[in-house]
Amino acid sequence: MTHKPFQTTSAAGLREDSLPFKLFQKAKRFGVWNPSDLDFTQDKKDWETFSEQQKDGILRLISQFQAGEEAVTRDLLPLIMSISNEGRLEEEMFLTTFLFEEAKHTEFFRIVLNELEVKWDLTEYHSDTYHEIFNEILPSAMERLVHDQSPEAVAEAATVYNMFVEGVLAETGYFGFYQSLQSINAMPALLEGVGNLKRDESRHIAYGTFLLQRIISEHPHIYDLVMKKMEELTPLAIRINEEGSEGNTDEAKRNTMNFTQKQLSTRMQILDRARDKRLEDIYKQREDEVGMEEADAVQ
């Protein structure tokens, strides 16, 4: 058994000025919303007025989020174990909130489906591209950490999980919900829950960005590996958008694709700006420096 010295009773204490610890504080303040408290009365009324095409588009989004949240919940543990084994207590403390929130997001979308009385199999909405991402690429990257906790393996996991799945695919999905429902002032509980998810995920993405910045600062060659992985993943983001855009207007398709391209560019620009930062400066960054929105913002 590996002996781990106690940090909190040593002279070191907790590194309270570090970004992971600040994210932990934000999670305690803003991550405790309860999906069961949402009132879907108006949502159910709105749902009954939708056309079959509108229902199909919303169910496609919900089904992809439902399975996606399940996937990121079940696949996160190896990263937590890896960080714990490195003795990075403040990061591990934040990651406990991370897993809790992913589980809650999984519950949220199931509640939505139950409220809408959608009890049939929705896997028809999961394309081959979707399965490639969530049943192959994501679990492979995360499971690698069980036996390989090298900087390269951790960087790959953070790139796939935080930068791509959360920072590109999920953010584009939120955009899709708002584009579909906010303009017609429909399904307020669903949008409120999505706003809460978006706020939670902004902390997750901020941590993933910090993690990659830290690794790149310690091992500069990792930057090129991360950029290469993002380049490999980019065509999948474009393809999954194209597969889900059937029935959308040309303007909606363009808006979604432009949003996805913007997210890809933003993630890489933030990492690029951090290449010359000192490790100490990376630890002491503000949340907005890693692309995190204000904690009380829902859009």
For the chain, give every domain's residue range. 39-284
**Rounded Cα–Cα distance for residues 168 and 82 (Å):** 24
Tokens 């108006």 map to which residue? Answer: 42
**Rounded Cα–Cα distance for residues 299 and 297 (Å):** 6
Q: How far is CA 99 from CA 79, 106, 148, 203, in A?
A: 11, 11, 21, 12
Confidence category of residue 88, pLDDT binned at 50, 70, 90: very high
Could you report the per-residue pLDDT of 234-250, keeping only the tens digit for each? 999 988 888 766 666 67
3-state secondary structure of 248: coil
**Rounded Cα–Cα distance for residues 241 and 214 (Å):** 31
**Rounded Cα–Cα distance for residues 172 and 179 (Å):** 10
**Whether the predicted pLDDT of 297 surpasses 50:** no
Q: What's the rounded mean pLDDT across residues 145-168?
A: 95
Q: CATH assignment of 39-284, given 3.40.50.300, 3.40.50.2020, 1.10.620.20, 3.20.20.140?
A: 1.10.620.20
Point out the least confidently predicted range of 36-50, 77-91, 114-128, 234-248.
234-248
Residues 91 and 83: beta-carbon distance below 8 Å? yes
* pTM for the structure as a whole: 0.90
Mean pLDDT of the chain: 89
* Residue 277: exposure state from Cβ atoms within 10 A (0-12, 13-18, ≥19): middle
**Whether the predicted pLDDT of 58 surpasses 90:** yes
Residues 26 and 287: beta-carbon distance below 8 Å? yes
Point out the least confidently predicted range of 143-147, 165-169, 268-272.
268-272
